[in-house]
Amino acid sequence: MRNQRPVFDADGHVIEPPNVWTDTLDPSLRSRVEPDAARLGAVCGALLPIVDGHPTFAGSPMMTDYLRSGSAAKMQAERFGIDAEQGIAPGTFVSAMDTEGIDVSAVYPSYGLHVPYCQDLDAAIAIGLARAYNRWLGGWCADTAGRVIPVALAPLHDPELAVEEIARSVREDGSRAVMLRPNPIAGRPLHHRANDRVFATLADLGVAMIVHEGRGGNVRFLGEDRFDTWYASRAACHPMEAMAAFAGLVVEGVFDRFPNLRVGFLESGTGWLPYWLDRLDEHHEMWGPSERPDLECRPSEYFARQCVISGETDDKFLESVMASVGAERVMWASDYPHMECAYPESVSGLLASTALSPEALSELLWGTPSRLYGVDARPETSKA
């Protein structure tokens, strides 16, 4: 064990192979998917395809050029030594975990952050694309000896279809959590009553609900009507969509209706959380009695009861947020192999700079994520 303590990466990412949206997609749906090659190039055009005539990528002109040029794959080859144009193999991912000293990683998509969740898709193709990814990921994780945990996708275009796919993926693919984007879909925000059947299924199955934003998909997001740069729009939408999602889950009673629902807020940073809880608590005290008198708790109490948040190695607020909301409410994530990650020093950099107590560090690196994802024991790792 390289770091003399178990380490759980709460948010790593696979890189999907270019055929992920075709080879495991139901054959009846394949004719509806075509590469967006003219705009994004052969590889990224296959990974961010046109579906039913609608593009699934809606990034800025700069990011469109970046993807078309192949710069993203070149960066990953140079920084991480991976051939990103072919996806990332399970063995390569596990070797990177060993380099860092990571025992277990929960993984999220790269291109799948966007494709199944696009607002223009009809429900059948949205769920079909999610199922194609979930099936592929279940097989991919099966080759990691239990060290990589699959997180399923479940777009909410039709909540009933989402429920069916969640149950299937937990049963057949071994999924331990489900990623829901915070963005509105089909005119419905995440907290909409139509999604109660999804929340009930997650709570009944004991599977965590993960709120994970991702700039670039063809979705509505906070800031879309104000910014045309990747710089500003991405800086805004990741934390602000998480903030709006949490407020909606509180104020519209989702946490009251589903007190056993476990929720994680990922890739939004941690610094916003104490401010937002304080502001929501203040508003709850002033206006809750007249507008939401049936709410059982203050917003900060719902977070303490049911939620966790992740921060990465360079998160300057990690320790102060842990002091504010409790060490058992914060977990660490690498974001490997995306541009922002600190590989191969994500773990060592954190350990070298932290002033956390051993107990708080154990919660951050193991206790909190293992409870969220339902992992009881550390698997055998290959490298000391």
* Helical packing angle, 272-291 and 230-251, nearest 10°: 40
User: What is the pLDDT at residue 86?
Assistant: 86
Is the distance from CB of 177 to CB of 264 less than 8 angstroms?
A: yes
Range list of H helices, 292-334: 299-306, 318-325
Per-residue pLDDT of the chain (384 residues; tens, 9 = 90+): 466 789 999 999 999 999 999 999 999 999 999 999 999 999 999 999 999 999 999 999 999 999 999 888 888 889 988 887 889 999 999 999 999 999 999 999 999 999 999 999 999 999 999 999 999 999 999 999 999 999 999 999 999 999 999 999 999 999 999 999 999 999 999 999 999 999 999 999 999 999 999 999 999 999 999 999 999 999 999 999 999 999 999 999 999 999 999 999 999 999 999 999 999 999 999 999 999 999 999 999 999 999 999 999 999 999 999 999 999 999 999 999 999 999 999 999 999 999 999 999 999 999 999 999 999 877 665 443
pLDDT at residue 4, rounded to an integer? 78
Q: How far apart are CA 351 and CA 346, in angstroms?
A: 9
Q: Would you kindly state where each structural domain of the chain is located, as residue ranges?
A: 8-373
Backbone angles phi, psi at 105, to 5 degrees: -135, 135
HSE-CB for 146 with a 13 A CA cutoff: 9
User: What pTM does this model have?
Assistant: 0.96
Tell me, what's the pLDDT at 74? 86
Q: Measured between alpha carbons, how far is residue 98 from residues 3, 91, 262, 382 in Å?
A: 10, 10, 29, 7
Strand-pairing partners, residue 264, are 210, 308
Terminal C-alpha separation, the chain: 4
**pLDDT score, position 294:** 97
In 136-207, at which residue ranges do the beta strands (DSSP E only) sit?
148-153, 177-180
Angle between the N-to-C axes of helices 159-172 and 123-141, in degrees from 0 to 180, rounded to the nearest 10: 10
| Residue 36 neighbours by CB distance under 10 Å | 21
DSSP state of 158: S
Q: Which CATH architecture describes the domain 8-373?
A: Alpha-Beta Barrel (3.20)
- Strand 208-212 with 54-55, pairing: unpaired
pLDDT tens track for 102-135: 999 999 999 999 999 999 999 999 999 999 999 9
**Omega before 369 within 30 of 0, i.e. cis:** no
Joined tokens for residue 263: 């929720």
Q: What is the CA radius of gyration of the chain?
A: 20
Say whether 150 sits in a helix, a strand or coil.
strand
Q: What is the pLDDT of residue 72?
A: 84
pLDDT tens-place string over residues 204-233: 999 999 999 999 999 999 999 999 999 999
Rounded Cα distance between 325 and 246, Å, is 15
Question: What does the pLDDT read at residue 376?
Answer: 83
Residue pair 87/17 in contact (Cβ under 8 Å)? The answer is yes
Burial (0-12, 13-18, 19+ Cβ within 10 Å), 357: exposed
- The span from the CA of 362 to the CA of 359, in Å, is 5
